[in-house]
Amino acid sequence: VMTQSPATLSVSPGETATLSCRASESVGSTLAWYQQRPGQAPRLLIYHASTRATGVPARFSGSGSGTEFTLTISSLQSEDFAIYYCQEYNNWLRTFGQGTKVEIK
């Protein structure tokens, strides 16, 4: 089970957002983060817990291992307000967290 917190995060543009994801058992570094803007398909941001996908801005960073993971978004831009999902791929079930909505404060 993957648990994300908080469910909703209110942040002002230009500030930093910190999103958390906790696994019920260790998944090593097999953790990915996705962004989903309204009306769009999800997009891969981070894999292997901390590797940015191609084309992802450097303001997105991932950290953690084992059971505790963090996605940090620095200097939030308008296009960053979206829902973010974590996902483990330590086993073939590929479980997602329930998502964190980052909204404009």
Partner 1 sequence: EVQLLESGGGLVQPGGSLRLSCVASGITFSSFAMSWVRQAPGKGLEWVSGAAGRGDDNRNYADSVKGRFTISRDDSKNTVYLQMNSLRADDTAVYYCVQDGGWSAYEFFQNWGQGTLVTVSS
Instruction: Decide if residue 60 touches partner 1 (CB under 8 A).
Output: no
Least Cβ distance, residue 12 to partner 1 (angstroms): 26
Q: Quick one: which of 75, 99, 105 has its CA closest to 10?
A: 105
Given 97, 102, 104, 105, the residue binding partner 1 (CB under 8 A): 97
**Closest CB to partner 1 among residues 10, 91:** 91
Instruction: Decide if residue 43 touches partner 1 (CB under 8 A).
Output: yes
Instruction: Decide if residue 93 touches partner 1 (CB under 8 A).
Output: yes
Q: Quick one: which of 39, 9, 4, 36 has its CA closest to 104?
A: 9
Inter-CA distances, 72 with 4, 7, 11, 45, 66, Å:
13, 15, 12, 11, 18
Positions touching partner 1 (CB under 8 A) are 30, 32, 34, 36, 41-44, 47, 53, 85, 87, 89-99
